[in-house]
Structures are given as structure tokens and as C-alpha cells.
């Protein structure tokens, strides 16, 4: 009932753990059966290991959180040797999120990860707001983003999903530029560039001054962006941003998303994604009984114009 096809890959449902909020799935697999998820996106991977940013890394806000992790990760070779074999035992699809400091790093990173057995989809992260070189710098201007997508496309033998920044100059034009450069799907959004100030020290909370905002506070803006992008491209759109309940997830599906990702909500309730899967299943069953509509969350007729 919830089975979803995302650029040729069959997901058992459209609910995906968002990059950076689920590690490589190992810790959460001790808390619940992660095989109930549609897929897991890995933490952002770079060619070389990264220590991440100094100073405070997370900060709670009234309806969400800010983070400044700085792409801390063990590097692609450790991922391939240690984390990927473990992830492959978890019983769900694997999406490798790949970042980079410059074009060469992106290309080499994608080439290595794309060649690995067990990786189903590559999510190209051109939208991280918390690193000085690369990251979001590639996701603001359409021509810069298109040049990265074109270059990685040449070495990528797997479905390529490009993760967009809400800080892009024009998110719709950006999605179209990525599609034309060879993306098989787009996912959006990453976090919004934001600021918090400690009034006692009279300094920014984060060493980097700005950080990325996520959680329920961004949901209506993310939803609007997903709706706009879904009307402009012909490739699948994966909706991300403040999704915490099955009702939130349905809003994104009705706005045109093929699947959704959940990030911050998992920190509040580790099993939030399973609740979303359950809720979607119940909704489809009831809608089918009441209206006779196809009992599928991919029902195109449910999309808003
Ligand atoms: C602590 C934290 C770390 C994150 N790390 C990454 C990352 O490594 N790569 C990436 O593409 N997105 C990363 N993100 C962004 C999320 O995947 C997601 O796009 C964003 O948080 C919005 O979704 P949400 O409101 O459901 O959290 C991170 C988010 C958080 C909160």
C-alpha cells in the first residue's frame, strides 16, 4: 500500500531518515526495528574525514533547532569499509549523502560511493550551511550547482538525487537547472541559515556565527518550496522540512512529493518515523473504504493543483 518507486528504486514506504539525524542507522537499530523505514540517508560523507566545527553544535529554538555540525564524518573509505556493511544488514534502502569542499572532492567522492554495492541512491549535498568551503556555496547560484551536477553525473552510475538549499537564490530555477544537468531527483530542503545570540555573553551562540535551522518552524516554507518545485520539474521530488507527524507527511505528498524525509522529529521521538508510516497506512485504508480511491499514498489524484 505504501510501496514507492524513487528513481527506479523500490522503497517499502515513502518515509526516509534524513541525513545527519540518523547517523548510519546503527544506534537507532538498538531502539527500534529500522527495517520499517523506506530508506536511511547517511550522515554527509566527504572524501577525507572531518572533525566538524568547534564550539557549541546544537541550540534549541521555540519550534525547532539550530545546528552547526560542520559535516563531521569518518570519510568515505571508512564508510565503505566499516559502516556500509553494517548498514546493509538493516533491511532498508541506503541513500549515501555526499558532500565536498571543492569540485574534485565531490567528483571523487561520488565516484567511490557510486561504485559500492549496497548503495541504492546518491544524495548530492550542495546545501550544507555549516562549512566554509563547498557545501552551500555550490547550492546558491544555478550555474555553479549545474556545473557540480554535470561533473558528478559523469562518474555516477547510481540514481542521483540533488539536495537543495532553501537559501538558493531561486529554488525553482535551481531545481530545473539540476534536472537539466542530469539529476534523477531533487530533495528539499536542507536547513535555513539562521542566527542566535546569547544575551549574557553578548555573542553569537555559534562559533561560526550562523547555523542551520530545522524542525516544525520551517515546515510551511519547505512545503511551499516543494509545491513550487514539483510543478516545475519532471523528476521526483523528495520533501523535507519540519515533518513530525503523518499529517505533515501527507501534506508534502499532496504538494507533489514522491517521498519524504524526517530529521529533527527523530530527536524528539526516536520512533516518530514509524508512527508516520502507521498513520499513512491507516489514512490510505480509510480513504480507500470511504472513497474507493486507490489505497496508495502515491495516488496522483490526491495531489493539489
Ligand atoms: C544535527 C543535524 C545534522 C544534519 N546533517 C546533515 C548532513 O550531514 N547532510 C545533509 O544533507 N543534511 C543534514 N542535515 C539537514 C537534514 O537532513 C534536513 O534536511 C533538515 O534538518 C530539515 O529537516 P527537518 O526539519 O525534518 O530536520 C542535518 C540536520 C541536523 C538537524
Q: Which residues pair with 66 in a beta bridge?
A: 59, 213
Task: Examine residue 196 and state whether it is found in any structural domain, yes or no.
Answer: no
pLDDT digits (tens, 9 = 90+) for 81-106: 999 999 999 999 999 999 999 999 99
Task: Examine residue 58 and state whether it is found in any structural domain, yes or no.
Answer: no
Cβ neighbour number for residue 289 with a 10 Å cutoff: 10
Task: Examine residue 164 and state whether it is found in any structural domain, yes or no.
Answer: yes
* Mean of pLDDT values over 4-19: 97
Q: From the CA of 57, give the closest atom in ligand 1.
A: 1
CA 90 to chain centre: 19
Pocket, ligand 1, Cβ cutoff 6 A: 18-21, 43-44, 67, 69, 71, 97, 125, 128, 163, 190-191, 214-215, 218, 240-243, 262-265
Q: From the CA of 190, give the closest atom in ligand 1.
A: 19
pLDDT digits (tens, 9 = 90+) for 32-74: 999 999 999 999 999 999 999 999 999 999 999 999 999 999 9
Q: Whose CA is nearest to atom 9 of ligand 1?
A: 44
Distance from residue 207's CA to the centre of ligand 1 (Å): 19
pLDDT digits (tens, 9 = 90+) for 210-259: 999 999 999 999 999 999 999 999 999 999 999 999 999 999 999 999 99
Task: Examine residue 248 and state whether it is found in any structural domain, yes or no.
Answer: yes
Q: Indicate the number of domains in the chain.
A: 1
Q: How far is CA 152 from CA 99, 226, 285, in A?
A: 11, 24, 41
Give CA angle at 137 (8, 140), nearest 5°. 70
Task: Examine residue 48 and state whether it is found in any structural domain, yes or no.
Answer: yes
pLDDT digits (tens, 9 = 90+) for 12-25: 999 999 999 999 99
- Reported in sequence order, the residue ranges of 219-269 that DSSP labels E, i.e. its strands, are 237-240, 259-262
Task: Examine residue 28 and state whether it is found in any structural domain, yes or no.
Answer: yes
Among the listed residues 11, 192, 203, the one whose alpha carbon sits nearest the alpha carbon of residue 94: 11
pLDDT digits (tens, 9 = 90+) for 141-160: 999 999 999 999 999 999 99
3-state secondary structure of 102: coil
- For the annotated catalytic residues, the residue numbers are 128
pLDDT digits (tens, 9 = 90+) for 251-297: 999 999 999 999 999 999 999 999 999 999 999 888 777 787 776 77
Is the pLDDT assigned to residue 113 strictly greater than 80? Answer: yes
- Reported in sequence order, the residue ranges of 150-214 that DSSP labels E, i.e. its strands, are 160-163, 185-188, 192-195, 197-198, 203-204, 210-214
Cell numbers given for 78: 571508512
Q: Ligand 1: which of 15, 20, 44, 244 to mutate, judged by most atoms within 8 Å of the beta carbon?
A: 20
| Domain region containing 99 | 4-52+69-190+214-302
* Mean of pLDDT values over 170-191: 98
pLDDT band at residue 127 under the 50/70/90 scheme: confident
Q: Ligand 1: which of 68, 123, 168, 191 to mutate, judged by most atoms within 8 Å of the beta carbon?
A: 191
CATH number of the domain where residue 177 is located: 3.20.20.70
pLDDT band at residue 185 under the 50/70/90 scheme: very high
Distance from residue 43's CA to the centre of ligand 1 (Å): 9
Task: Examine residue 129 and state whether it is found in any structural domain, yes or no.
Answer: yes
* Cα within 13 Å of Cα(198), Cβ side: 11
Is the pLDDT assigned to residue 300 strictly greater than 90? Answer: no
Q: Which residues of 269-282 are buried (b: 16+ CB within 10 A; e: fewer)?
A: eeebbbebbebbbe
Q: From the CA of 265, give the closest atom in ligand 1.
A: 26
Is the pLDDT assigned to residue 130 strictly greater than 80? Answer: no
Q: Whose CA is nearest to atom 10 of ligand 1?
A: 19
pLDDT digits (tens, 9 = 90+) for 186-220: 999 999 999 999 999 999 999 999 999 999 999 99
Among the listed residues 37, 43, 30, the one whose alpha carbon sits nearest the alpha carbon of residue 78: 43
User: How many Å apart are CA 238 and CA 215, to the nearest integer?
Assistant: 16
Cell numbers given for 194: 539562521
Task: Examine residue 156 and state whether it is found in any structural domain, yes or no.
Answer: yes
Amino acid at each position: 500500500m505504501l510501496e514507492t518507486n524513487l528513481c527506479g528504486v523500490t522503497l517499502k514506504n515513502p518515509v526516509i531518515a534524513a541525513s545527519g539525524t540518523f547517523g548510519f542507522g546503527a544506534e537507532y537499530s538498538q531502539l527500534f526495528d529500522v527495517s520499517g523505514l523506506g530508506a536511511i540517508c547517511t550522515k554527509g560523507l566527504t572524501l577525507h574525514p572531518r572533525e566538524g566545527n568547534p564550539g557549541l553544535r546544537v541550540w534549541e529554538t521555540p519550534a525547532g533547532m539550530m545546528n552547526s555540525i560542520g559535516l563531521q564524518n569518518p570519510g568515505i573509505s571508512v564508510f565503505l569499509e566499516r559502516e556500509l556493511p553494517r548498514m546493509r544488514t538493516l533491511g532498508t534502502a541506503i541513500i549515501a549523502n555526499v558532500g565536498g569542499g571543492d569540485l574534485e572532492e565531490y567528483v571523487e567522492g561520488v565516484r567511490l560511493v557510486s561504485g559500492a554495492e549496497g548503495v541504492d541512491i546518491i544524495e548530492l549535498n550542495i546545501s550544507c550551511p555549516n562549512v566554509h568551503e563547498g557545501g552551500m556555496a555550490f547550492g546558491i547560484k544555478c550555474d555553479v550547482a549545474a556545473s557540480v551536477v554535470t561533473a558528478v553525473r559523469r562518474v555516477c552510475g547510481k540514481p542521483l538525487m540533488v539536495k537543495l538549499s532553501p537559501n538558493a537564490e531561486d529554488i525553482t530555477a535551481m531545481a530545473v537547472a539540476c534536472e537539466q544537468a542530469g539529476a534523477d531527483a531533487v530533495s528539499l530542503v536542507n536547513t535555513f541559515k539562521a542566527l542566535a545570540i546569547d544575551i549574557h555573553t553578548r555573542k553569537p551562540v555559534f562559533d561560526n556565527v550562523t547555523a542551520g535551522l530545522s524542525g516544525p518552524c520551517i515546515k510551511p516554507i519547505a512545503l511551499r518550496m516543494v509545491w513550487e518545485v514539483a510543478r516545475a520539474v519532471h523528476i521526483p521530488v523528495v520533501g523535507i522540512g519540519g515533518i513530525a507527524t503523518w499529517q505533515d507527511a501527507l501534506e508534502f505528498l499532496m504538494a507533489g512529493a514522491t517521498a519524504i524525509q524526517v530529521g529533527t522529529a527523530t530527536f524528539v521521538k526516536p520512533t516518530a518515523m514509524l508512527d508516520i508510516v502507521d498513520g499513512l497506512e491507516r489514512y490510505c485504508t480509510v480513504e480507500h473504504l470511504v472513497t474507493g480511491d486507490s489505497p496508495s499514498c502515491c495516488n496522483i489524484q490526491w495531489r493539489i493543483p
